[in-house]
Amino acid sequence: MERLYGPIRDYAWGSRSAIAELQGRPVPSGGPEAELWLGAHPGAPATVRRGGAAASLVDLLAAEPGRWLGDRVVERFGPRLPFLLKVLAADAPLSLQAHPDPEQARAGYAADAARPAGERNYADPHHKPELLVALSPFEALCGFRDPAESAGALAAFGVPALEPVVSALRGGPAGLREAVRLLLSWPAAERAGLVADVLAAQAAGPDAELARALAGHYPGDPGVLVALLLNHLRLAPGEAIWMPAGNLHAYLRGTGVEIMAASDNVLRGGLTPKRVDVDELLRVLRFEVLDDPVVAPEPVSAGVVRWPVPVDDFALHRVRLDAGAPPVRLTAPGPRVVLCRAGRLSVDDGRGAVALVPGQSAIGPADAGPLVLDGEGEAYVATPGLD
C-alpha cells in the first residue's frame, strides 16, 4: 500500500469546517472546501510520492495499467480507474442535476464533438451513477415523488400562473415531463416574479420551507419549484442514497462519502449559475416515481458492511474495528482505495503496511494480495465492483 494524497475542490457551496475537521486542520478553513477527490480523474487526480515528489495517479496507471488495474478491469473498462471516491461536504445546495446512462453518454459525447466548447454537455463517453453514504445528518432531493403529492404542494401556494403545471402533475407520472418542461422553460423575464409570487403566498409546511430556503440561495431560479417535485430526504449517519442514471437530484447540506463511476457528465436543471440545456436534460431524465432511493447496508463479515448497487464500476465497503478486535481481511478485485474516517488504522496488502489517521488515504495495486486492516477505527474501502 502507498499513501494517497487527494486534492480538495473549492466549489462555492463547500463547507469551511467538515473536511478540515476530518483531516485535523484548523477550522474554519481559508475558503470553501467542497470535495476531497481520491482517484485518477483527469480533472483533479490524486498523487503518490515518488522520490520525494508528487506523482499523478493518472500517469502511474498509464505507465503500468496491468499492475495497477489488473487484466479484468482493463478488459472491462479500458486502462483507467473506473471509479472516483470522494468526501463531499455541502454547506449550501448543489445544482439540480442528472447523469446519462452509458448509451446516452456515448451518443452525447459523439454529438458534442461537432459543437463549440461552450455548447457541449458531455465531458466523456461514460455514465455516472452515484452512491453517497452520510457521515453527518445529510439533506438531499432524490428522484421524483408521487406527482399527486407534488400537485398538492404547488396548488397550496395558490398562484394562478402555476395552474398548467399543477394540471400536468394531476395526470400522474405521464404528466411529469410536461410539468418539468413548463417550469424549466418559463420565460426568463417572468421567472423572478413567479418565484416571488410563490414566496409571497405565505404557505406553511415543509414544501414552503424548502422553497424559501432554496430561493434564499437562488432567487428567481425555476429550479426552486422543480425541487418541490422531488423526494426530500434527511439521512442519518450511515444511511445511503443511490442515484442511477436519469434521476434528478440535488444534495442540499451535510457531509458524506461518495463513490461514482469516473465521469464528469452532469446535466443541470437549475439552482445553478452554470449552463442549463433543457432539451438535453429532458431527453436524459427518467420521468418515473423513485419510491425509495435509500440503500441499506448488507453485512459482509464481522465489522464489515457494503452497499449493494447494480453496476460493476465500483463497490464500497465500510470497515469498523473496535479495540482488541482481530484484523479484518478483504479480498477484492482490482485497485483498492482506503479512506480512514476515524481512529488509527493499519492497512496492508502484502507489499507493505501504511498507517492511517482520519482524513488520510492509501491505494494498493491490483497485483497485490488481500487487504488486511488492523487497529481501532473506521475506514471506507473502494474497489471495482467486479465479483
Could you list the active site residues? 268
How many C-beta atoms surround the C-beta of residue 286 within 10 A? Answer: 16
Handedness of CA 321, 327, 329, 334 (dihedral sign): positive
Question: How far, in Å, are 70, 79, 81, 158, 315 from residue 65 at the CA level?
Answer: 7, 6, 9, 60, 20
Instruction: For residues 364 and 350, give the distance between their C-alpha atoms in angstroms, rounded to a whole number.
Output: 10
Neighbours of 335 (CB within 10 A): 26
| CA-based torsion, 215, 129, 61, 366: positive or negative | positive
- CA 165-140-236 angle, to 5 degrees, is 140
Read off the DSSP letter of residue 55.
Answer: E
CB 56 within 8 A of CB 363: no
Phi-psi domain of 52 (left: phi exceeds 0; alpha: psi -120 through 50; beta: other): left
Are 161 and 187 in contact by the 8 Å Cβ rule? The answer is no
Angstrom distance (rounded) from CA 249 to CA 211: 15
| In the chain, alpha helices (H) | 18-22, 57-63, 65-69, 71-77, 102-112, 147-155, 163-169, 176-184, 188-200, 206-217, 223-226, 278-284
**Helices H / strands E in the chain, number of each:** 12, 22
Dump the DSSP string for 273-319.
SS---HHHHHHH---SB----EE--EEEETTEEE---S-SS-EEEEE
